[in-house]
Amino acid sequence: MADIFRDNVGGISTAPMNESIARTTNLLGIGVDRAFFLLLQYRWNEDQLRRDLSCLEKAAILLNRSIEPLLESQSRNGTCVRCLEYTWCERLSCHDLVCRQCIDDHVQEQIIARTLTISCPNELCGCYLNPSSLEELISVELRHDYTQVVMDDFIAQTRFPRRHPIEYIGQGLGFLWNNKKKFFDCGVIAAGAVGALKLNNWRKENPRTWASKMESVLLILSSGSSVF
Ligand SMILES: [Zn+2]
Ligand SMILES: [Zn+2]
């Protein structure tokens, strides 16, 4: 299985991003492009993706909404869907024809708009370009820019995942519940320690009363043992 991102950007390794894609690929038994596409839609939240896909109905909808499989490179003369000129065109995975200049311009526009899922230049198409096909379709510089934008998103989403505040409350309550025994034990030990400390202080302050109290306690204990 080939990694989608091979080059590093700004000295930062793209490996964690590829690993996230690989985990999703293995888990769902889908191609890297599809996995990458889903991760973008899920803001790299693998747990949420896994939870959603565990519901079969939702999984079917999501996977259908995904991208077309990669076609063999099929360049030919035709009418470009963007500039409408009859010229040498690339055939996209959605079967639309687009000239080299238009695909570059289109991807550049989407990168500037920081759109991560690159759509087909044909506005009526509604498909997304297969991420692996970008490598053949766009220039090296543009590909580098695209990797940079995706990398920025990956870092932002995985280091500071956007979560609803209620999730944090839920997490806190979950922590308390999971560790309830520890908290209870700590409470009992703390109460015992405080009690012993108080008793010791009282004993020091009232040595005479302490002695008489202890005597009566011993008396009760010994009379109790004689009863049984
Ligand atoms: Zn064109
Ligand atoms: Zn298309």
Q: Where are the beta strands (DSSP E) in 35-168?
A: 75-79, 86-91, 97-99
Q: Does residue 61 surpass a pLDDT of 80?
A: no
Q: What is the DSSP string of 200-215?
A: HHHHHH-HHHHHHHHH
In the three-class reduction of DSSP (H, G, I as helix; E, B as strand; rest coil), residue 128 is classed as strand
Taking the centre of ligand 1 as the mean of its atom positions, its distance from the CA of residue 199, in whole angstroms, is 89
Among 14-23, 171-180, 181-190, 197-206, the least confident range: 171-180
Percentage with pLDDT > 90 across the chain: 18
**Whole-Å CA distances, 186 to 177, 181, 214:** 14, 8, 29
Q: Is the ipTM of this complex over 0.90?
A: yes
More confident residue, 150 or 171: 150
Ligand 1 center to 149 CA (angstroms): 24
Q: How far is the CA of 105 from the centre of ligand 1 (A)?
A: 9
Reduced to 3 states, what is the DSSP secondary structure of residue 84?
Answer: coil
Distance from Cα 20 to the centre of ligand 2, integer Å = 28
- Closest to 131 in 3D by CA, of 40, 8, 43, 24: 40
Here the tokens at position 185 are 């034990």
Domain 75-160 has CATH 3.40.50.620: no
What residues does each domain of the chain span? 15-64, 75-160, 166-227
Q: How far apart are CA 43 and CA 35, in angstroms?
A: 12
* Residue 84, pLDDT score: 95
Distance 71 CA to ligand 1 centre (A): 20
Ligand nearest to the CA of 126: 2
Q: How far, in Å, is the centroid of ligand 1 from the Cα of 158?
A: 37
By residue count, the chain amounts to: 228
Which ligand ends up closest to the CA of 81?
1
- pLDDT band at residue 228, thresholds of 50, 70 and 90? very low
What pLDDT, in 10s, does the model give residues 126-170? 888 878 778 788 888 898 899 889 988 888 888 765 566 666 677
pLDDT of residue 202: 80
The Å distance, Cα 89 to ligand 2 centre, comes to: 13
How many Å lie between the centroid of ligand 2 and the Cα of residue 74? 14
Which pLDDT value is given to residue 161?
A: 59
